[in-house]
């Protein structure tokens, strides 16, 4: 029988080749499975038992980081999901081990979603009113984050030639390598057109660093960290006391759609969520609408 370390390597290769998982996902699975094996000190798949996994879950629940903080329930669940997928792979290979179906993943605590209301978004956008290249770039970034509900990694990955301003739509490649169509609002289109008309560099990226020498051959594409700094800067200038990130604008995009009557399935498609469960973190909006409906229609006769 193969050593479990060799099977782990083959499992990670299976994720990459057969399942087409991203490099980040593979790194995470490697970390989670490796932690289990280092703790369990086993050499063969048939040594993985339900009792062993129960003790491991207890270990994870009591595990502290260097600052003395316990692992979040969500992070603990990621460890078990990775282990369960490893067990499924072992079963495919006809390896004798614990059945993956016997592992139950705990429920994740519901997330508190931080979002901006329409007035707060408007205040941030009004802070960027110049017509110089940097101002137009920053306004375009903010408009597009809110207009299309993009993840920051999706925004930084956009090239100039893939955005169709005439049709006000373009495709992005999101999590799990899934492609979806996103849409550009009228105001975002206008700002993007002005920004693009001032670009004289030859970089293919849509959003780039502003250089004194635009013919510089180095990669000018903005990083997610740069976008985060830009968003925080203008939120601070607008006097927003919330901790605003690029993802806050994505949350605000979803909240804005739902509060104006969009159905949750449409919002799921526009956000690129593979599961409706993920989109349901925005039920703070739908719950409020349900309350209004109840108040308006209940016992009116």
Whether 173 sits among the annotated catalytic residues: the reply is: no
Whether 282 sits among the annotated catalytic residues: the reply is: yes
Rg (CA), the chain: 24
Where do the H-state alpha helices sit in 162-245?
Answer: 186-198, 224-237
Give whole-number Cα distances, 128 to 138, 149, 150, 180, in Å.
7, 19, 20, 29
SS3 64: strand
Q: How far apart are CA 46 and CA 40, in angstroms?
A: 12
Catalytic residue among 29, 195, 234, 282: 282
Whether 247 sits among the annotated catalytic residues: the reply is: yes
Q: How far apart are CA 113 and CA 116, in angstroms?
A: 10
Q: How far apart are CA 43 and CA 40, in angstroms?
A: 9
Q: How far apart are CA 118 and CA 98, in angstroms?
A: 51
Cβ(157)–Cβ(206) under 8 Å? no
Catalytic residue among 151, 189, 195, 234: 151
Catalytic residue among 14, 79, 189, 273: 273
Catalytic residue among 35, 232, 247, 284: 247
Catalytic residue among 21, 79, 137, 250: 250
Catalytic residue among 93, 175, 180, 199: 175
Q: Given the structure tokens 């301003």, which residue do they identify?
A: 165
Whether 107 sits among the annotated catalytic residues: the reply is: no
Q: How far apart are CA 253 and CA 142, in angstroms?
A: 11
Q: How far apart are CA 121 and CA 252, in angstroms?
A: 8
Cβ(30)–Cβ(38) under 8 Å? no
Whether 250 sits among the annotated catalytic residues: the reply is: yes
Whether 123 sits among the annotated catalytic residues: the reply is: no
List the catalytic residues. 151, 175, 247, 250, 273, 282
């Amino acid at each position: 029988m193969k050593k479990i370390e060799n099977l782990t390597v083959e499992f990670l290769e299976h994720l990459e080749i057969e399942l087409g998982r991203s490099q980040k996902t593979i790194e995470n699975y490697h970390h989670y499975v490796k932690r289990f094996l280092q703790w369990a000190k086993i050499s063969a798949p048939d040594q993985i038992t339900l009792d062993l996994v129960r003790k491991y879950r207890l270990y994870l629940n009591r595990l502290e980081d260097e600052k003395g903080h316990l692992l979040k329930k969500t992070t603990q669940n990621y460890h078990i999901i990775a282990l369960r997928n490893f067990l499924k792979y072992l079963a495919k290979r006809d390896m004798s081990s614990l059945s993956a179906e016997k592992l139950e993943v705990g429920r994740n605590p519901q997330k508190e979603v931080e979002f901006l209301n329409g007035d707060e978004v408007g205040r941030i956008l009004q802070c960027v009113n110049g017509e110089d290249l940097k101002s137009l770039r920053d306004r375009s970034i903010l408009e597009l984050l809110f207009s299309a509900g993009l993840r920051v990694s999706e925004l930084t990955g956009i090239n100039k030639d893939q955005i169709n301003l005439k049709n006000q739509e373009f495709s992005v490649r999101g999590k799990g390598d899934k492609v979806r169509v996103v849409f550009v609002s009228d105001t975002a289109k206008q700002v993007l057109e002005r920004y693009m008309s001032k670009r004289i560099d030859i970089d293919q990226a849509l959003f780039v660093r502003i250089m004194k020498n635009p013919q510089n051959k180095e990669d000018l594409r903005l990083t997610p960290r740069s976008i985060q700094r830009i968003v925080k800067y203008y939120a601070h200038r607008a006097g927003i006391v919330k901790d605003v990130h690029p993802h806050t604008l994505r949350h605000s995009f979803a909240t804005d759609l739902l509060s104006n009557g969009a159905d949750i399935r449409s919002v799921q498609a526009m956000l690129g969520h593979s599961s409706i469960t993920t989109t349901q973190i925005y039920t703070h909006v739908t719950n409020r609408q349900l309350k209004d409906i109840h108040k308006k229609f209940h016992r009116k006769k």
